Amino acid sequence: MADADARPRLHGELLSTSLLAFLKNWNAYGYQLSQRLAEAGMPDFDSGTVYRTLRQLEKTGMVSSFWDTSESGPARRMYSLTKAGEVFLSGWIETLQNYQSILQQALAGLAPSVPGSTAGPDETR
């Protein structure tokens, strides 16, 4: 039985890429992004890590932010995707699509052979 700590966690470049993807079509606050990640069914993550990642993305020029004072209550930081962030996101999307293809091919090779099939896991189908 798998240990609860063995579940995947959302961090690193996967978290960065996910945040950039959400910012592609709309500007958002960190809290909104955390909510969207959770609603999307992403692996567990720490909301503090989301804010640290957003600050790092801003430092590297992938996102920009400003203090939004338009609503009543305290000012909140609004994040948006930059051109550099769009380029980075496009590269990652391509990489993830290639990775998905590789994983699917690998899993297909590990799957039990279909009755009547003469192709083995090493042969082209």
> Does residue 49 belong to any structural domain of this protein?
yes
> Does residue 121 belong to any structural domain of this protein?
no
- Looking at the 3D structure of the chain, how many domains does it have? 1
pTM of the model: 0.72
Buried b (16+ CB within 10 A) or exposed e, 36-50: bbeeeebeebeeeeb
Give the pLDDT of residue 10. 47
Instruction: Look up residue 91 and give its amino acid.
Output: G
> Does residue 125 belong to any structural domain of this protein?
no
CATH of the domain at 31: 1.10.10.10
> Does residue 83 belong to any structural domain of this protein?
yes
> Does residue 64 belong to any structural domain of this protein?
yes
> Does residue 86 belong to any structural domain of this protein?
yes
Encode the chain (125 residues) as per-residue pLDDT tens digits: 445 555 444 456 888 999 999 999 999 999 999 999 989 888 777 888 899 999 999 999 999 999 998 878 888 999 999 999 999 999 989 988 888 888 888 888 875 555 655 554 555 44
The answer to whether the beta carbons of residues 67 and 76 sit under 8 Å apart is: yes
Domain that holds residue 100: 7-110
